[in-house]
Structure 1
Amino acid sequence: SYPVQNAFARSDTLFQLALHPWFASLWTRLMNFKGNTAASIADLNGYLQQMARRQLDGQAPPFFCFVNLMEPHLPYWPPEPFVQKYAPYFKTNREARDFLREYNAQPYRWMAPLPQPLSPLQAQVLRDIYDAEVAYQDHLLGSVFETLRHTGLEQNTLVAIVADHGEGLGEHDFVGHAFVVYEELIRVPLILHYPGYFPAGKRVATPVSTRRLFHTLLEAAGFRPSLSLANGAPRVSLQLRREIARLSLSRTLAGEDPEQGVVLSEAFPPQILLRAMENRNDNLLQARACYDTRRALYEGVTKLIQTGDRPSLYNLEQDPAELQDLLAAGIPSEPGSLSPQAWLDRLRQGLRQWLEWAESRRPSTAPRRVDMESNTDLVRRMQELGYLE
């Protein structure tokens, strides 16, 4: 499938064709666009059972397993019991069914900013059916935890549950997961379970970045990079060792958060998607600043959103839906706190420091010479990804 999907990714014409209502239902539903969550979970359970048997035989090495579950993506067709629980009106309400069918069949229309807010019924259908999709995935995940328990793997396995993004369901006149850095897209679940390492039942309210999972997993696995590696591999810096120790989420769980709740999020304009939309919706895309990079910086309950050159400021404790821009209203983030302008100056300085830090770590873009004849594995992988014929 790689050559086909890469052809669509590289061609604006094919991409627009894929978004046509006649074809959208074909590739989203019939071609299993979002995978098969039940089959993926069954495969994972089989793998865990195999590893447990190998452990009993003394043959199992440490293992790492990553599973990307796509159930709460389009198209929204959760199983009937979950629809009945979360949207009991759906079966008898023809208008609700017609709307969801249209929503599933016309992703092109709904990926663009909404020209007007959703109707109350449309908003309710999206919320309820999305909840049903999430609940169905949670139900399937329950079997994984059962497998970990009855195989005995639970006591020596770190489980991390996290999302790469949320989903807009009409908030701020956007649906889907492009363009914005509001809470509905970037505040996601993060659950860690590792008996004897992480305290059970503890909940941390301090915002943290999901990038720190990297450091957390390495520390928990006992990874201690040396200053140089064998076989001519690149040197692993002392800086990485320090960052693993400093940025592991175990520091935050111990009440010693190294970043003090300061977190950065970014959303870059999806260029192929924009090119597919602009012929019909360019004025709307311009008006909603869809061509601009968006960045958000948190400090405690205060959040700066920088859209291009335009800032907005929110207090997430008092205004979790981000409906009142403190800069536009001219009110402090908290009673007796800094003025909105003082907060803006402070957070913009923090944003500049983040970007300078990230730029300083950007890998070199200078081309490297690779011996393609001797590196057959690299050639094979690049062919699979569609980069080589």
Structure 2
Amino acid sequence: MAFCNNPLVGVVNNGLRRGFQSFLNYSGLMTSRPNQVGVDRNLFDRYRQVFKRFLASTISSMQDAFARSDFLLNLSFSPLTAPLWQTALSFKGNTARSLNDAARLLIERDGVAEDQPIFSFINLMGVHMPYHPAQQFTERFAPHILHDKTAQRYLRHFNSDVFGWYAPLTNIMDEQDKVTLDGMYNAEVATQDELVGTFLKKLSSSGRLDKTLLIVCADHGEHLGEKRLIGHSLSLYNELVRVPLIIRDPGSDLPRGTAVEHFVSTRRIFHTALAAANLADETEEVLTLAQSSTSDPDSGTVFAEGVPPQNVVQMLHRRRPQETQELGCDQARRAVWSETHKLIQTGDDRLELYSAIDDPGERLNLRDILPERVEALQEYLQTFVSHAGVTVTTREQ
């Protein structure tokens, strides 16, 4: 079962809905709810369901066109149209409703045998731009926004400037603007955290939580002006790729209160879930995160790859050509973490080496200081690319 609040997963036709028996979408012009998935009881209900499927298919095609057409995408990025689709499309979905529906279905398990495992994917979008957190958390994390007219004007402009969510900055961000974005981002995180907490309390009070392997993770972080970057499309710096990973295991494979100190890849969440459901084969079993550091099959080495969306790159070339070239925003990026260092390669020849332990902010490029380490990590990257066997170009959104 999937409960999706992200329009790029639940709305755009990119194939990510395959494999789910039930995929409930909370974003877009036409959202779905659990009571729309069931057995039709009479002729009118059957007619209504057919009409809904036809209407949903038509609307989905229209929404998909905006993501794939350069003209329509540029139109949607306009400050005049952005507020319209942000509201009409339920751009960030509905976290509270999706979590409430997920809790009800996981607790009641209608039509599911008690001993049958359920895989549930719950995708939340609330921390994404634009920022409209709950009032109580704005007061806690960004109280100045309530009375500072300059900060309010900046936030209104930022929330409506969709191109600005992707584009590199022309200069270093103003310090007060940075304070505003950091505060509002933290307030959005706190808003989602409270809603997730309510969801977990429901599972706990029903007794389901103690029968559930719970994995909390993010697919990316966010740039809020660091290194002249905004958003999450154009870098592999730690602001984007170091994400929380929390696992609550009711069994004993992942004992409570333990922390893994070495680097791990979120790709192994897949293998961990398979192993927990007793569905993993031998090659998948060894990749579960229920491993000690001494038996880690990756030996603490982690890879990442980032390919900028092609339609965004085209807009960057038109509107921010100098910054795009200067920061390599139109180039594919690859990174490798191994032992105490991290290497980022942008395009074919831009190299950055950082201490993964002592320099989490990635301020000192050690490329020219430790050339031997650069060479060794480049070999890791080349092996990774050869093993993947793909040629990377810019991708469509």
**TM-score scaled by length of structure 2:** 0.80
Q: Counterpart of 1:34? A: 92
- 2:99 counterpart SS class: helix
Match among 171, 181, 186 for residue 116 of structure 1: 171
Partner Cα separation in structure 2 for residue 6 and residue 298 of structure 1: 36
Matches within 5 A, 1:190-229: 190-197=245-252, 198-224=254-280
Contact persistence 1:48–1:147 (CA under 8 A)? no
In 1, Cα distance between equivalents of 2:363 and 2:191: 31
Code of the residue aligned with 1:86 in structure 2: it is: F
Residues 15, 276 of structure 1: 8 Å contact kept: no
1:267 deviates by 0.7
Instruction: Name structure 2 gaps, 5 residues minimum.
Output: 1-58, 392-397
Shift, 1:269, TM fit: 2.0
Match of 1:313 among 335, 339, 353: 353
Whether 1:257 aligns to 2:326 is no
Q: Aligned to 1:247, what secondary structure does the other structure show?
A: coil
**Cα contact 1:21–1:105 (8 A) shared by 2:** yes
Cα deviation for residue 30 of structure 1 reads 4.2
Residue identity opposite 1:278 in structure 2:
H
Give the 3 Å change call, closer, same or farther, for CA 157–59 of structure 1 in structure 2.
closer
Distance (whole Å) between structure 1 residues aligned to residue 89 and residue 251 of structure 2: 43
Query: Match for residue 143 of structure 1?
Result: 198
Q: Distance in 1 between matches of 2:297 and 2:114?
A: 39
* Contact 2:164–2:230 (8 Å) recurs in 1: no
**Which residue in 2 is equivalent to 1:382?**
none
**Residue in 1 aligned with 2:384?**
354
SS of the residue 1:129 aligns to: helix
Q: 2:316 — aligned with what?
A: 277
Q: TM-score, with normalisation over the residues of structure 1?
A: 0.82
Rounded to whole Å, the distance in 1 between the matches of 2:380 and 2:286 is: 19
Counterpart-to-counterpart distance in 1, 2:294 and 2:259 = 11
The one-letter code sitting in structure 2 at the alignment partner of 1:344 is V
Rounded Cα–Cα distance in structure 2 between residues aligned with 1:292 and 1:311: 12
Distance 1:277 1:21, change over 3 A: same
Partner of 1:341: 371
- The 3-state SS of whatever aligns with 1:89 is helix
Alpha-carbon distance in 1 for matches of 2:272, 2:115: 23
Identical residues among aligned pairs (%): 37
- Where do 1:1-389 residues align within 5 Å? 1-51=59-109, 61-197=116-252, 198-224=254-280, 241-252=281-292, 255-308=294-347, 309-328=349-368, 330=369, 340-359=370-389
Match of 1:337 in 2: none
Farther off after superposition, 275-284 or 344-353: 275-284
CA contact (8 A) 2:301 2:337 kept: yes
Q: Can you give the 5+ residue segments of structure 1 that lack an aligned partner in the other structure?
A: 225-240, 331-339, 363-389
Deviations 1:277-302 (A, max 9, x none): 32221222112111211111000220
| 1:345 partner amino acid | E
Residue 54 of structure 1, CA deviation? 6.9
Instruction: Supply the AA of the counterpart residue of 1:343.
Output: R
Cα drift, residue 77 of structure 1:
0.4
Task: Provide the residue aligned with 2:7 in structure 1.
Answer: none
C-alpha separation between the residues in 2 aligned to 1:109 and 1:145? 35
Query: How many aligned residue pairs are there?
Result: 331
Contact 1:27/1:33 (CA < 8 Å) preserved in 2? yes
Secondary structure of 1:67's match?
Answer: strand
Question: Quick one: which amino acid aligns to residue 379 of structure 2?
Answer: Q
Provide Cα deviations, 1:220-263, integer angstroms capped at 9, x if missing partner.
Answer: 11115xxxxxxxxxxxxxxxx332121110114x7522212100
Deviations 1:308-345 (A, max 9, x none): 121110002211100100124x2xxxxxxxxx111011
Q: Is the 8 A contact 1:166 1:188 kept in 2?
A: yes
